[in-house]
Structure 1
Amino acid sequence: MRHVVGFLFGLILGPVLVLACGWVLPRLKGVYASGAPVWEGSAPVALVGLAGVGLVVALLVVPSRLTPMAALVSALVVGGISALSLVRADLLERLPESLPGVEGALELLPLGVFVPLVVVLVAPVFSGARWRGEEEDEEVTTEEYFEGLYEEGDGEGRRSTGASSVPGGRHAVG
């Protein structure tokens, strides 16, 4: 079920990422053309929007419990839109101009700006642990976790070096 939700989430998130980057482009171009400092005008809002895009991408790529289907479908949608802009640009020009970010997205798509984003979003697919569900993960007890730190057959809990810890930070050889 989590893969289905990830699939649907990816279908929505791909165009949102493209439109968000397209929304930022004209604002940053306007600030650059005017020669104004980055902290004045609409530039801080545009930079926050760009940071938001980076945060969303990081949240798709990094968490190990999240299904990789969301990142994969987002990558396929963004890559497909980029390829479509090269092959059939007339189809994308039919998008309504009232949609925020369309003009910037139409400018960015044929330039190949989204190719690194697609590569980053495809990377979680190759992590096998991301495909397994939580129910397959078995809990590790404290004894199992520390099992490799101690010698087998040593019931006193000494380290494999033969030294055991004594209160006060000193080590006693046993």
Structure 2
Amino acid sequence: MRHVVGFLSGLILGPVLLLLGGWVFSHLRRLHGSGLGALDGAGPLALAGLLGVGLVVALLAVPPRLTPMLPLGASLVLGGVTAVSLLRPHLLDRLPVLPGSEGALVLLPLGAYVPLVVVLFATVFVGGRWRREPEGVTEEEYFEGLYGEDDDRRGPASSALSGAPARSGPRHRA
């Protein structure tokens, strides 16, 4: 079920990335055309939008416990729209005019979204993202190996100074 929800969420986040990238591009192009820098006028707002694009991509691609279907859905949307803009550009005229669509329609035929497609699609090949947590492990058992008693929290250097033996790794129950 988590893969289905992730895939449907990716189908929603794909157009969000497309429009947000187009919106940032159109604002930065307008600033450059008027001779202003990225920190003048509405430049900080456009940079915040660019930071938002990067944050969304990082949140889709990096978390290891996230289903790989979420970034796959977003990459399929971005890749599909890029392919349509290259093969059948007249079909893009039917899209509704939304904030950011003007910039996105400029970036699509240039292939500017292809690197995003590759990064998001690559997450499908990370094997650990397909598996769920083991059913028998509770939250307490999971975190048990990360932190021991008070001596272990001080680190290996302080344990060596106090005479306490340092642990070599996390404990696991059989």
Same fold (TM over 0.5): yes
Instruction: Give the alignment of 1:91-106 within 5 angstroms.
Output: 91-97=91-97, 99-106=98-105
- Do 1:93 and 1:106's aligned partners in 2 also have CA atoms closer than 8 Å? no
CA deviations on 1:31-81 (whole Å, 9 max, x unpaired) are 111111321111111110011010000001111111010001111110000
Of 158, 162, 171, 1:167 maps to: 162
Provide the residue aligned with 1:158 in structure 2.
none
Unaligned runs of 5+ in 1: 144-164, 170-174
**1:123 pairs with 2:130:** no
C-alpha change, 1:32 and 1:66, in structure 2 (3 Å) is: same
Shift in CA distance, 137/36, structure 1 to aligned 2, threshold 3 Å: farther
Query: In 1, distance between residues paired with 2:143 and 2:22?
Result: 49
Distance 1:136 1:46, change over 3 A: same
Q: Which of the two has higher C-alpha Rg?
A: 1
**Superposed counterparts of 1:1-174, under 5 Å:** 1-97=1-97, 99-135=98-134, 138=137, 165=160, 167=162
C-alpha contact (below 8 Å) 1:22/1:103 kept by paired residues: yes
> What is the identity, as a one-letter code, of the residue corresponding to 2:91?
L
Greater Cα shift, 10-19 or 134-143: 134-143
**1:130 Cα deviation from its structure 2 partner:** 0.2
Q: Which has the larger strand fraction?
A: 1
- Please tell me whether the aligned partners of residues 14 and 77 of structure 1 are also in contact (alpha carbons under 8 angstroms): yes
Q: Which residue of 2 aligns with 1:148?
A: none
Q: Distance in 1 between matches of 2:62 and 2:95?
A: 32
- Output one character per residue of 1:126-152: Cα deviation in whole Å (capped at 9) or x when no partner: 111100012458556868xxxxxxxxx
- Structure 2 residues not aligned, in runs of 5+: 146-159, 165-174
SS in 2 for 1:66: coil
TM-score, with length taken from structure 2: 0.78
* Residue identity matched to 1:167: S
Cα separation, 1, equivalents of 2:102 and 2:161? 70
Distance in 2 separating the partners of 1:73 and 1:31: 33
Aligned-pair identity in percent equals 61
- Separation in 1 of the partners of 2:58 and 2:93? 30
Alignment RMSD:
2.5
Aligned partners of 2:101, 2:161: CA distance in 1, in Å?
68
